[in-house]
Amino acid sequence: MYNSRIIAVVGATGSQGGGLVRAILADPASDFRARAITRKANGEKADALRKLGAEVVEADLDNEASLAKAFDGAYGAYCVTNYWEHMTPAKEVSQARNMAQAAKTAKVEHVIWSTLEDTRLRVPLTDSRMPTLMEKYKVPHFDAKGDADVLFAEAGVPTTYLLTTFYWDNFVYFGMGPKKGPDGKYSITMPMGNARLSGIASEDIGKCALGIFKQGKQWIGKRVGIAGDHVTGAQMAAAMSKALGKEVAYNVVTPEMFRGFGFPGADDLGNMFQYYTEFEKEFSAARSLDTSRSLNPELLDFNSWLAKYKDRIPEA
């Protein structure tokens, strides 16, 4: 039947889920329909999705029954948590459990769980190269997602484990864009030395997810990593200098300095960058550009992301 299969999208008003809803709506030839899930069905973002043609339903990740209702009748579900809203790993795990159980109740046929590596598999808590945080984690917003992987398998829901990565949109929205120093020169600051960072345009996460739903069953039970490019800080700074028409330097700091910046989550992100750096090979190998492009032929590399979004990078 034409337009018959519903994909229920958690985080539809956000970056990952919003990208998926837009990708589904932009592809009327596919037989998928988008059901956008939000806590605020009457909010502006929900309205915008409704106007584009999405069905909008309300559910809360803290309420399993509301999720089961939102997943009811859906073929697929995109499941994502927002760690940064609460910065509590146990809450992230509990929200993932609610999604897994709700998908089971609703008999969803294909779940995509947006996850990240459990960094403790490579840096056990006894490893002192980076501090242990909140007693149980090295990179809490990665490790909690890794902890949650098993919940989908235990619930018996057909799941694809989607390993996302650093959004370049962080240069626009997450305070990571070029900053003017006391000498009047601009720089981006990252504790990554000469290592390559696997990055992606956040809109491409949803587009890749749509590719996974379309390719279907072959991805069930699999882990698939995605990225748009693997580029060093120096390469990103050089590309920004060209795109923005002003010199942007790469300000290399140590992970320890980054952890000491003191903003909420600086220690988590400092550990994350250290992990990206010290496991550069493994991290990028888990995120094949070819596979990402086969899921999403429109995949942006860093230069094409910059060309599209450079005007949104704030002057600071």
Ligand X SMILES: NC(=O)c1ccc[n+]([C@@H]2O[C@H](COP(=O)([O-])OP(=O)(O)OC[C@H]3O[C@@H](n4cnc5c(N)ncnc54)[C@H](OP(=O)(O)O)[C@@H]3O)[C@@H](O)[C@H]2O)c1
Residue 81 lies near ligand X (rule: CB under 6 A): yes
Residue 141 lies near ligand X (rule: CB under 6 A): yes
State which H helix or E strand residue 275 sits in: helix 266-278
- DSSP at 137: B
Residue 60 lies near ligand X (rule: CB under 6 A): yes
What is the C-alpha separation between 78 and 301, in angstroms, rounded?
A: 24
- Give the residue carrying structure tokens 């915008």: 48
Q: Could you tell me which of 144, 83, 140 has the C-alpha nearest to residue 269?
A: 140
Q: How far is the CB of 82 from ligand X (least distance, A)?
A: 4
Residue 166 lies near ligand X (rule: CB under 6 A): yes
166 or 219: whose CB is closer to ligand X?
Answer: 166
Query: Per the structure block, which two tokens stand in for 293?
Result: 């492009």
Q: How far is the CB of 14 from ligand X (least distance, A)?
A: 2
246 or 308: whose CB is closer to ligand X?
Answer: 308
Residue closest to ligand X, measured at CB: 14
Q: How far is the CB of 39 from ligand X (least distance, A)?
A: 3
Residue 11 lies near ligand X (rule: CB under 6 A): yes
Asked if 98 contacts 146 with a C-beta cutoff of 8 angstroms, the reply is no
- The angle, 0 to 180 degrees and rounded to 10, between the axes of the packed helices 233-244 and 302-309 is 30
Cα separation of the two ends of the chain: 51
Q: Could you tell me which of 192, 169, 108 has the C-alpha nearest to residue 306?
A: 169
Residue 39 lies near ligand X (rule: CB under 6 A): yes
Q: Which residue among 5, 14, 87, 155 contacts ligand X (CB under 6 A)?
A: 14
Residue 312 lies near ligand X (rule: CB under 6 A): no
Residue 185 lies near ligand X (rule: CB under 6 A): no
Residue 38 lies near ligand X (rule: CB under 6 A): yes
Q: How far is the CB of 197 from ligand X (least distance, A)?
A: 10
Residue 115 lies near ligand X (rule: CB under 6 A): no
Query: Per the structure block, which two tokens stand in for 59?
Result: 């559910």
Residue 15 lies near ligand X (rule: CB under 6 A): yes
Per rule CB under 6 A, count of chain residues that contact ligand X:
26
Asked if 289 contacts 299 with a C-beta cutoff of 8 angstroms, the reply is yes
Strands 179-180 and 186-190: antiparallel
Q: How far is CA 261 from CA 85, 187, 269, 271, in A?
A: 20, 16, 10, 13
Q: How far is the CB of 183 from ligand X (least distance, A)?
A: 29
Q: Which residue among 71, 75, 78, 83 contacts ligand X (CB under 6 A)?
A: 83
Q: How far is the CB of 316 from ligand X (least distance, A)?
A: 18
Residue 164 lies near ligand X (rule: CB under 6 A): yes
- Give the residue carrying structure tokens 């020169």: 185
Asked if 220 contacts 162 with a C-beta cutoff of 8 angstroms, the reply is no
Q: Which residue among 62, 256, 298, 315 contacts ligand X (CB under 6 A)?
A: 62
Q: Which amino acid is at 138?
A: K
Residue 96 lies near ligand X (rule: CB under 6 A): no
Q: List contacts with ligand X (CB under 6 A).
A: 11-17, 38-40, 60-62, 80-85, 141, 164-167, 170, 174
